[in-house]
Amino acid sequence: MDDRELVKMIGGIIGTDTVEDDCAKIPFGDDYIILSTDMLHETTDFPTGMTDWQIGWMSAAVTISDIASDGAVPLGLLLAAGLDRPERLKGIMQGAKACCDEYGASLIGGDVDAHSELTIVTTGIGRVEKENYTGRKGALPGDLVCIVGDPGYAQAALDGDARYRDYLLIPKPFVYEGRELSKAGVSSMMDVSDGLALSLYDLADLNGVGFEIDSGKLPKTLPQDYVLYGGGDFGLLFTCEESILRSLEVGATVIGRVISDAGVFVDGKTVERRGYVHKWD
Amino acid sequence: MDDRELVKMIGGIIGTDTVEDDCAKIPFGDDYIILSTDMLHETTDFPTGMTDWQIGWMSAAVTISDIASDGAVPLGLLLAAGLDRPERLKGIMQGAKACCDEYGASLIGGDVDAHSELTIVTTGIGRVEKENYTGRKGALPGDLVCIVGDPGYAQAALDGDARYRDYLLIPKPFVYEGRELSKAGVSSMMDVSDGLALSLYDLADLNGVGFEIDSGKLPKTLPQDYVLYGGGDFGLLFTCEESILRSLEVGATVIGRVISDAGVFVDGKTVERRGYVHKWD
């Protein structure tokens, strides 16, 4: 069983709509309040050798990225830490605060607890005008498929390429870009933290469409396997009409087009449905 | 080192005001958005024999209680679960949803992860008009000290008294009461989930006052040791002017009075500063 099957089951309890996005949204006057929570553990999420400061930064960045992918402005972050050693908290909080400061959010509270394995749960709150909100639903056949950021570097670093360590250890969520894309009216958006291929499948399935990706348009500084299947990057994947792309003031790469047939294809060949998932044996 | 020392250290990083309450508050027009997060683990927080449904209920109730103690209306809850066995999630989500339904909140999302020890982090969001907000600060010498609910039953149940098992396993946050007290204008409020004595100390320290408690006014169905030092109850502790108490339509028990001298006393004798804390050896 993996986490995607579990999320489906949860949809049966709390509503299918509720589990379609990494963020929850609550109507609040002319705005939506956007909320997202992420659980990270030492053994599965924090590469060996990370400092506590980097762990704090990454924990904040994961959640801020989710909020950014809805086009929202991050307002605040809560951090709950299950600590194996209490002295780690200082570095973790300093790292999380640095990330919050960088993206205009406040570190507004949390909880602490003793735990055999370091476990951090960050919950973020953001705000977006209703007319500027972008969810995962909305991609239409004929739309362009685009990315912001270069997927694969975090995975390359995890596999030992020291040139890309900062992509892995101090990831930068695309907050400004997510907001601009959303205001420009892109049709659907999500971050690619579980890997580009898996994100493409998630978005395709949810929208009842498919994606035809052109390998010639994928970034070429890394082997294609990293670009498609590497996890841990916070790039944004979005779809939009061609006219919208021309008006964008954000650096984005067109990688393909939305098609009406189900599936994800690169140069006409089906892409493997794999990436970053949590599994239970 | 215990969690209270850690929270002090965090105050040095993210601001002392920020760590004074279990909840964070964000101004939003005429309202405050109230946020709270709580981390619970199998070994330290869930008594042996609890069902997954009860674990879900309790996890939701802990956070809803924090929101209620600010006088806020709970709106939504996120639940992040680190699961030792994925099949536990269904019962946990059903229990959490039942608790949310009971108190008018929506279970709006979450995260799942594999973990060696069951770990649940709930984050709640609530809303309160600025003029109806009650925090922990505001107690003044001369105010009455009051409680809603009967502290000690959860601890008695934990120690084996089967009559009180529901107090421990399916705790009921005082959402309606917190809201009514807050609207009536009580001067400070918090829940007593770490035990009455420790909560009295927390409130006294924060307000630069002391409390003189009258043992004759404490509930008598349990030994005083349970009433003062037992944890796991979600009763509310609050202070208010006498005139406000007379107007209340909520069942509350006056247990003493706010004094200007520091300390917490029962019949003039200093109370031990102990209750529920997380410790690292």
Alpha helices for chain B (secondary structure H): 3-14, 42-45, 52-68, 89-102, 153-158, 165-169, 175-184, 196-207, 224-229, 242-247
> B14 or A145, which is more confident?
A145
Separation between Cα atoms, residue A243 and residue B111, nearest integer Å? 36
Span of A18-22, A35-39, A135-139 with lowest mean pLDDT: A18-22
Burial state string for A93-108 with b = 16 or more CB within 10 A and e = fewer than 16: bbbbbebbebbebbbb
Residue in A with minimal Cα distance to B45: A113
Calculate mean pLDDT across residues B20-41: 92
| pLDDT confidence bin for A124, thresholds 50/70/90 | very high
Are A123 and B119 a contacting pair at CB < 8 A? no
Calculate mean pLDDT across residues B123-147: 97
For chain B, the average pLDDT equals: 93
Chain A from 238 to 267: CB within 8 A of any B CB:
none
Separation between Cα atoms, residue A92 and residue A114, nearest integer Å? 15
Q: Which pLDDT tens digit goes with each residue over B48-78?
A: 889 999 999 999 999 999 999 999 999 999 9
Calculate mean pLDDT across residues B9-19: 83
Residue in B with minimal Cα distance to A44: B114
| pLDDT confidence bin for A195, thresholds 50/70/90 | very high
C-alpha dist (Å) from residue B135 to A211, B162, B184: 51, 35, 14
Q: Which pLDDT tens digit goes with each residue over B32-48?
A: 999 999 999 998 899 88
Q: How far is A50 from chain B (nearest CA, A)?
A: 20
pLDDT of residue A5: 84
Query: Which residues in chain A touch residue B6, judged by CB atoms under 8 angstroms apart?
Result: 83, 86, 89, 112
Q: Which pLDDT tens digit goes with each residue over A59-90?
A: 999 999 999 999 999 999 999 999 999 999 99
Separation between Cα atoms, residue A20 and residue B193, nearest integer Å? 34
Closest by CA to A4, choosing from A26, A20, A27, is A20
> A244 or B276, which is more confident?
A244
| pLDDT confidence bin for A232, thresholds 50/70/90 | confident
CB pairs under 8 A between A and B: 187
- By the 10 Å C-beta count (0-12 exposed, 13-18 middle, 19+ buried), B261 is classed as exposed
Separation between Cα atoms, residue B213 and residue B271, nearest integer Å? 9
Separation between Cα atoms, residue B84 and residue A190, nearest integer Å? 28
Two tokens, residue B90 = 């269904």
- Phi, psi dihedrals of residue B37, rounded to the nearest 5°: -130, 140
SS3 A280: coil
Q: Which pLDDT tens digit goes with each residue over B81-100?
A: 999 999 999 999 999 999 99
pLDDT of residue A21: 79
Calculate mean pLDDT across residues B273-277: 80
pLDDT of residue B275: 82
**Has domain B135-270 been given CATH number 3.90.650.10?**
yes
Nearest to A109 among B35, B40, B121 (CB): B35
Are A41 and B121 a contacting pair at CB < 8 A? no
Beta pairing partners, B279: B2
Separation between Cα atoms, residue B84 and residue A41, nearest integer Å? 13
Helix axes B52-68, B175-184, angle to 10 degrees: 0
pLDDT of residue A279: 65
| pLDDT confidence bin for B2, thresholds 50/70/90 | confident
- Phi, psi dihedrals of residue A24, rounded to the nearest 5°: -95, 150
Instruction: Indicate where chain B has its CATH 3.90.650.10 domain(s).
Output: 135-270
| Pairing between β-strand B253-259 and β-strand B144-148 as defined by DSSP bridges | antiparallel
First to last CA, chain A: 7
| Pairing between β-strand A210-213 and β-strand A263-266 as defined by DSSP bridges | parallel
> B141 or A11, which is more confident?
B141
Chain B from 59 to 98: CB within 8 A of any A CB:
75-76, 78-83, 85-86, 89-90, 93-94, 97
Residue A193 has pLDDT above 90, yes or no: no
For chain A, the average pLDDT equals: 93
Calculate mean pLDDT across residues A33-49: 92
| pLDDT confidence bin for B279, thresholds 50/70/90 | low
C-alpha dist (Å) from residue B65 to A247, B178, B207: 48, 9, 21
Helix axes A52-68, A89-102, angle to 10 degrees: 40
Calculate mean pLDDT across residues A175-182: 97
| pLDDT confidence bin for B14, thresholds 50/70/90 | confident
| pLDDT confidence bin for A281, thresholds 50/70/90 | low
Calculate mean pLDDT across residues A205-225: 95
pLDDT of residue A252: 95
Calculate mean pLDDT across residues B197-222: 95
Separation between Cα atoms, residue B79 and residue A130, nearest integer Å? 25
Closest by CA to A256, choosing from A139, A152, A132, A156, is A139
pLDDT of residue A192: 93
Calculate mean pLDDT across residues A101-116: 93
Following DSSP, what letter does each residue of A137-177 receive, concatenated? ----TT-EEEEES-TTHHHHHHTT-GGGHHHHHS----HHH
Closest by CA to B96, choosing from B115, B82, B110, is B110
Calculate mean pLDDT across residues A171-195: 95
Residue A97 has pLDDT above 60, yes or no: yes
Instruction: Indicate where chain B has its CATH 3.30.1330.10 domain(s).
Output: 22-131
> B7 or B151, which is more confident?
B151
Are A109 and B37 a contacting pair at CB < 8 A? yes
Beta pairing partners, B258: B211
Determine which helix (DSSP H) or strand (DSSP E) holds A102, and give its type and residue range. helix A89-102
Calculate mean pLDDT across residues B223-245: 94
> A6 or B163, which is more confident?
B163
Question: Which residues fall within 8 angstroms of residue B136, CB to CB, at 6 or more apart?
Answer: B20, B21, B188, B189, B190, B202, B203, B206, B207
Separation between Cα atoms, residue B138 and residue B151, nearest integer Å? 23
Following DSSP, what letter does each residue of A198-255 receive, concatenated? HHHHHHHHHHT-EEEE-GGGS--SS-HHHHHH--S---EEEEE-HHHHHH--S--EEE
Separation between Cα atoms, residue B249 and residue B247, nearest integer Å? 7
pLDDT of residue A278: 62
Residue B280 has pLDDT above 70, yes or no: no
Residue A159, annotated as binding a ligand: no
Closest by CA to B221, choosing from B167, B279, B144, B180, is B167
Q: What is the ipTM of this complex?
A: 0.90
**Has domain B22-131 been given CATH number 3.90.330.10?**
no
